[in-house]
Chain A
Amino acid sequence: MHIEGEKEALLEVGQSVLRAVSPRATLPVLGGVKIEAGRDNVKFVATDLEMFLTVQGDFAVKEQGAVVVPGRLFGDILRNLPSGKVSIRGADGEVRIEAGRSEFAVTGFPVADFPSMPEVKESQRCQIAGAELARALRQVVRAASPDEGRPVLTGVLWSVEGSTLRLVATDSYRLAVRELVIKEGAESGTAIIPGRALAEFGRHLAGIGEDEVSVWLGDSQAVFSAGSTTLVTRLIDGEFPDYRKLIPESHTKHLKVATEPFAQAVERVGLVARENTPVKIHLGEEVQLTATEAGVADAWEALEEVEFEGDPMVIAFNPRFLSDGLEGLESQTAVMEVTDPARPAVLKGVEREEFIYLLMPVRLPG
């Protein structure tokens, strides 16, 4: 195999694919990046066995073939090479990277050891606007659980009904639901997609802009493709919790508040709420945020631009969970609907129905 390309272009492709390399790879070869030079394109592939990320680049192919280079070292080398033309050539065993007067001989992994991409069986395809999907992923994926103990909750529910796609994630403390419109294709159906894979794809999308995204859903795999990037991920088995019954049908207290100042106040007051102490919202004629870290500090701040309807009440939240919800709102005015300090609060943008965020409060000791 032998390819040539500009350092900056190689670095861009190399870095984006390296993010899929698992930092805790169980097999050494999973720490590698496979470079496949075809007749007229070059693919960079990384995998953690759960997902395969492929990024294509336009590089000159001098000789077709494939190598697997150690990912981290390859990234470090690319980053530090002088600008200009870079040549990568080799086979199993040794890969030579040359640029200007620098030359590296890197021991590669046997190409045959690199896992092959699963074949995606006949599947449904749909198309979605890239920027829209990128925003939706940013809103929803963060509510997925990092706890592998309950695999279903580490995923995002991908649910298609007619031309509506609904993305849902919950870690059992909060729930994010986002609806978006499918541009083309797809029948109704659901799948649970690993949150980590979607977060990765979302990061790629953010850099792409308005490009179309194509999604294929198979029985056990999903494929996401946008521009030069293709991500294949396994699906999570299991039944996603019935999130619809979690969403309260009514509420007794209604807070309307300017989103950005509210979010900033939560950040500020939250500084005192180190570790896991909550931020309290005192709802009433005046709406105040407070936080106390016993023996360390107290903070309080009255919110501006607020309207509150209902009886006074104090409700407490994990400030990070609250910030996550507010950041996702995409509306200048936020609405928070609550009933009771021990029941979920609903956060949404005013007159925006496509995204809602449910948040369980923190019960104070005693």
Chain B
Amino acid sequence: MKSSPVWSTPVMHADLDAFYASVEVLREPKLKGKPVIVGGTSSRGVVTSASYEARKYGIHSAMPTSRARRLCPNAIFIQPDFEMYAVKSKEVRRVFDSFSPVVEPLSLDEAFLDVSGASKMWAGPEEMAKGLRDDVLGQTGLSVSVGIAPNKFLAKLASKHSKPDGMVLIHPDEVDEFLRPLPVEALWGVGTETASILKRFGLRTIGDVVNLPQSSLERALGSLGGHIARLARGIDDRGVVADSPRKSMGAEETFERDLTDTGEILRVLLKLSDRVASRLRARGISGQTVTLKVRFSNFTTITRSVTLPAEVDGARSIYLVVRDLISRVLSGGGASGHPRIRLLGVSLSNLKDWPPSEQLSFDPAAGWSDADRTLDLVRRRFGEEAIEFGVLLESSD
């Protein structure tokens, strides 16, 4: 049974090469060809981005800077300038927009483009990708790697294989051939844990997975099994979704049993604040109005908002606000005793199209933005659960 994805709606995944390091090279051309490492230069800093020259030494993002320094003592270390990267990212976005009306950015340096209209304007997707790479380089000075394939999953795989500064096209007829030899970890959603389960079944490559009936996989892995079976056959139905100008960004959680314990409520709020904050940062945006949503066990729902003097994108700044709001909600409960909470939500609105400048305060609790950036890096490399606030870890004991 061989799937035949429809080629009429090709998806492009464009991924800038060593983005932050490349921006630094643009700013300081004499760094060209040298191992350039962008990252925290303090004793506990980590690598944010490394030029391909630096990667030859085994240096990769989220590695402690101290280790990178040992691996490549003569590398040039630079403190990140996120304001600059956001500006540059928008320049690149303008080029993307000129190629497709449907652009879905994943972060400052990568995006999906729905290029189904390519056939009308260009000889084909391949020519279009070449045009895009030329335009990005010409208009921004940055090199971008491009993957084109019948769907998002394959397009992202293709761009990975095209790096650096390349282009890979997976034609519908070649999907099976392309996927089969790849390790199972290449499947979207397969982390170390799932991979080890698959390996216990003797499944090492995507080809191995395809050879197994989908029903067996579902028995072993539940619904994830069906998902993996489809991906292994090159099937991915997710469409490219244009990032409509957002009005707010939030995270919420419904609880199996109602929450009453203040400590537990605060831990959930910290987790939600952190989730919203990292989403904001992934898009290089920020928000100025923080809203707390509380649904009680009787389904009454209230929201409380505060508009801050300046926009924020940090978990701690958001958490401090929602902590104040919840304490007022809980103390306002009055005679009704401990309220039972069924759902908590944290959202940011009044969104700004740029990362925040941080209005410093006389309050000693400042200085958290560096920690937030490190959090993002570790997560990007090792997964969402790789790093959390200490207080959240305690709660899982």
Q: Enumerate chain A residues within 8 angstroms of B311, measured Cβ to Cβ.
A: 275-276
CB proximity to A under 8 Å, residues B79-125: 79-87, 90
Contacts of B362 in A (CB 8 A): 170, 172-173, 175, 241, 246, 344, 358, 360
Give how many B residues have a beta carbon under 8 Å from the other chain's beta carbons.
29
Contact A366 B80 (CB under 8 A): yes
Task: Verify if B385 is at the interface (C-beta below 8 Å from A).
Answer: no
Q: Which residues of A contact B278 (CB under 8 A)?
A: none
Bound complex: CA A246 to CA B369 (Å): 22
Kindly state whether residue B65 has any CB partner on chain A within 8 Å.
no
User: Do residues A366 and B324 form an inter-chain contact, with CB atoms below 8 A?
Assistant: no
Q: Please report the C-alpha to C-alpha distance between residue A276 and residue B356 in the assembled complex, in whole angstroms.
A: 8
Also in contact, A173 and B352, with CB within 8 A (given A318-B310, A366-B83, A366-B84)? no
When A365-B82, A366-B83 are in contact, do A318 and B90 touch as well, CB less than 8 Å? no
A361 at the interface (CB under 8 A from B): yes
Q: Which residues in A have their C-beta under 8 angstroms from that of B352? A: 275-276
A175 to B362, CA, bound (A): 9
Complex CA gap A344/B354 in Å reads 25
B298 lies within 8 A of chain A by Cβ: no
* Chain B CB within 8 A of A84 CB: no
CA of A366 to CA of B85, assembled, Å: 9
CA A172 to CA B352, docked complex, whole Å: 23
* Bound Cα distance from A125 to B55, whole angstroms: 75
| Interface pair A172/B363, CB less than 8 Å apart | yes
Structural contact, A342 and B288, CB atoms closer than 8 A: no
Tell me the smallest distance from the CB of B170 to a CB of chain A, in Å.
35
Contacts known (A173-B309, A366-B81); A294 close to B359, Cβ less than 8 A: no
Bound Cα distance A340, B73 (Å): 30
Q: Are A149 and B355 in contact (CB under 8 A)?
A: no
Question: Closest chain B residue to A145 by CB distance?
Answer: B309
B90 x A294 contact (CB < 8 A): yes
Contacts of A278 in B (CB 8 A): 357
Q: How far is the CA of A358 from the CA of B362 in the complex (A)?
A: 10
Q: How far is the CB of A359 from chain B (nearest CB, A)?
A: 10
The 4 closest A-B pairs by CB, nearest first: A366-B82, A360-B360, A365-B83, A366-B81
Separation of A210 and B235 alpha carbons in the complex (Å): 83
Complex: how many Å from CA A90 to CA B354? 60
Interface residues of B in 308-356 (CB under 8 A from A): 309-311, 324, 352-356
Q: Would you mind naming 21 contact pairs between A and B with Cβ atoms under 8 Å apart?
A: A170-B362, A172-B361, A172-B362, A173-B361, A276-B357, A276-B359, A277-B357, A278-B357, A294-B83, A294-B87, A294-B353, A360-B360, A360-B362, A361-B360, A362-B358, A365-B83, A365-B355, A365-B358, A366-B79, A366-B82, A366-B84
A365 to B356, Cβ gap below 8 A?
A: yes
Contact present for B357 and A365 (CB under 8 Å): yes
Please give, as numbers and ranges, the residues of chain B lying within 8 Å of A175 by CB-CB distance. Answer: 362
Q: Is A238 an interface residue (CB 8 A)?
A: no
